[in-house]
Chains A and B, each alone.
Chain A
Amino acid sequence: MTAMLNVKDLRAYYGQVQALHGLNFALNEGSLTTLLGANGAGKTTTLRAICNMVRSTGAIEFEGAPLSGRSTENIVRLGIAHVPQGRGTFTTMTVEENLQLGAISRKDKAGVVADIERMYNHFPVLKQRYAQQAGTLSGGEQQMLAVARALMLRPRLMLLDEPSFGLAPLIVRDLFKILGKINREEKVTILVVEQNAQLALELADQAYVIETGRIVMSGKANEIANNEDVRKSYLGY
């Protein structure tokens, strides 16, 4: 199986400060991969570099095509949906407008209408609140909305930046269940960045561990979960 996303020697910079020091990793089509690491390890930067939202060097290939030199909006239009840290909700717009915006690059009107209905089935709470200003939703509801908005693109690859952040444990469980379902049923390849290592490793089939801008470990999620160093550093037992 060839890799859907191939990242080679990725280095990223904020001004003079180098945040990534030569990352190499690959995502297989249909996989659900998690990228683990502590605060400041470079997880968010990795996702931002994939979407060209931070200055970077190295090679990133998506389905065989290089992403370097493409603008963020053009990368998204290739089918890479990015749920940013803090969810990126269009707070002054309604829930339904947020969903329409997710599909703004699509031309198939009927498909978009059908997909909005599909999202309401995935996330019934969004249907109840469809005409409400998105900023009035709770944190968990906004995260559901962010995932739904990303799915409206009909992405081939979905990048999620700490979806569990600030959410109650029960809501995180729900959310991760939905992500697993999306991965299996809709064949969306998923890369999820997490600090909540335990849940992320339960959900994922592949895992990478990143420390100060370098990948220090990679493998199957269950193997990583049983690794002693990871257990001590990230799982706390």
Chain B
Amino acid sequence: MELFTNQILAGIATGAIYACMALAVVMIYQAIDHLNFAQGEMAMFSTFVSWQLMQWGAPYWGAFVITLVFSFFGGIAIERLLFKPLAKAPILTNVAGFIALFAIINSVAGLIWDFTIKQYPTPFGSSPFLGSQLISTHQAGMIGVTVLLLVGLYFFFQFTRIGLAMRAAASVPESARLVGINTSWMIALGWGMAAAIGSIAGMLIAPVVFLEPNMMGGVLIYGFAAAVLGGLTSPLGAVIGGFLVGIFENLAGTYIPGVGNELKLPIALALIITVLVVKPAGLFGRPIVKRV
């Protein structure tokens, strides 16, 4: 029983990271109708930036905040330079853009910081949380930071003018322009926020997976699985999907014989395909009906 509880809690902790990645993916998907394949690499690059700042002597939380700001403006810059010009381009052109972005960020990170694995600090320590053997303080910290982030985002989107404007621009762009919203900048803002959310996920998971240019590959696949499970049209669904996928991953790894670390990725992919076949809109998404 203790093993089971332990696995559930560990699943919630990694699920928090998947939830962040899924949320970042969904925010961009809502704004431009494309999946950002480079979301993980953007998060990885941000994490390296925070690491570099700490190497230069910055305290953890100082580096954390500077990285958030850097990621926010970096996300906006990527949208303005690369994806705004592609806004009316066909879907495959956009996919090529995302893959190019993925490759560029990955190799630039390798060039600057090389591909050796680095230790990444945790501000929470890794002793047992509140003396319990079930969960470590870092895992508790991962959950805590994510919950704070989610609550903050909820209030932002529900109760601020700019949050309302962003939702409007994502749901009916033409009507949004007709009430005076600059939809183009709302999309850029969405990119900035998604990049910042991704950077939080990267910085929180780095002590677990260690810092290197390919650290986010598996995490992003699980993020996609979470977004698909929850529904690509539902931010709330993406978050719930994240936690569910985290728990599922841990339980499957523990209780299904033969599924160790090696088979973790196929499990995520199997989950994506199963959801797409059985319930394409996801648990909380709206089915998308397009007039032809």
Contacts and interface: CB of A to CB of B under 8 A. Distances in A.
Contacts of B174: 53, 84, 88
Interface string A93-109: 10001001110110000
Given A90-B168, A90-B171, A93-B167, A101 B177 contact: no
A13 to B, nearest CB: 17
Interface residues of B, number: 18
B52 interface: no
Interface string B174-200: 111111111100000000000000000
Interface in B156-174: 161, 164-165, 167-168, 171-172, 174
Given A73-B181, A73-B182, A104 B175 contact: no
B179 A51 contact: no
A153 interface: yes
Interface string A71-85: 111101100011010
A101 B182 contact: no
Contacts of A51: 178
A104 B177 contact: no
A104 B178 contact: no
Contacts of A149: 179
B115 to A, nearest CB: 44
Contacts of A100: 161, 164
Contact of A76 (B161, B168, B179): B179
Contacts of B182: 71, 73
B164 A101 contact: yes
A104 B180 CA distance: 7
A156 B291 CA distance: 35
A89 B168 CA distance: 10
A93 B168 contact: yes
A136 interface: no
A90 B180 contact: no
A104 B171 contact: no
Interface in B66-81: none
Contacts of A104: 161, 164-165, 168, 179-181
B180 A84 contact: no
Given A88-B172, A90-B172, A93-B167, A102 B179 contact: yes
Nearest to A103: B179
B47 to A, nearest CB: 34
Which residue of B168, B172, B174, B177 has the most chain A CB atoms within 10 A of its CB atom? B177
A73 B177 contact: yes
Nearest to B182: A73
A222 interface: no
B177 A90 contact: no
Contacts of B175: 84, 88-90, 101
B177 A76 contact: yes
A91 interface: yes
A104 B169 CA distance: 12
B179 A101 contact: yes
Which residue of B174, B178, B183, B286 has the most chain A CB atoms within 10 A of its CB atom? B178
Contacts of A72: 177-178
B180 A91 contact: no
Interface in B181-221: 181-183
A60 to B, nearest CB: 16
Contact of B178 (A88, A91, A92, A97): A88
A117 B107 CA distance: 57
A101 B165 contact: yes
A54 to B, nearest CB: 12
Contacts of B167: 93
A102 B164 CA distance: 11
Contacts of A91: 171-172
Nearest to A78: B180
A116 to B, nearest CB: 13
Which residue of B180, B181, B183 has the most chain A CB atoms within 10 A of its CB atom? B180
A214 B54 CA distance: 68
A101 B174 CA distance: 13
Contacts of B161: 100, 104
A37 B66 CA distance: 59
A97 B168 CA distance: 9
A73 B178 CA distance: 6
Contacts of A77: 180
Interface of A: 51, 53, 71-74, 76-77, 81-82, 84, 88-93, 97, 100-102, 104-105, 149, 153
Given A91-B171, A104-B168, 5 more contacts: A92-B286, A101-B175, A101-B176, A104-B161, A105-B179
**What are the 4 closest A-B residue pairs judged by CB atoms, nearest first?**
A105-B180, A88-B175, A76-B180, A72-B177
23 contacts: A51-B178, A71-B177, A71-B182, A72-B178, A73-B177, A74-B180, A76-B178, A81-B178, A82-B178, A88-B172, A88-B175, A88-B178, A89-B175, A90-B171, A90-B172, A90-B175, A92-B171, A93-B167, A93-B171, A97-B164, A100-B164, A101-B181, A104-B161
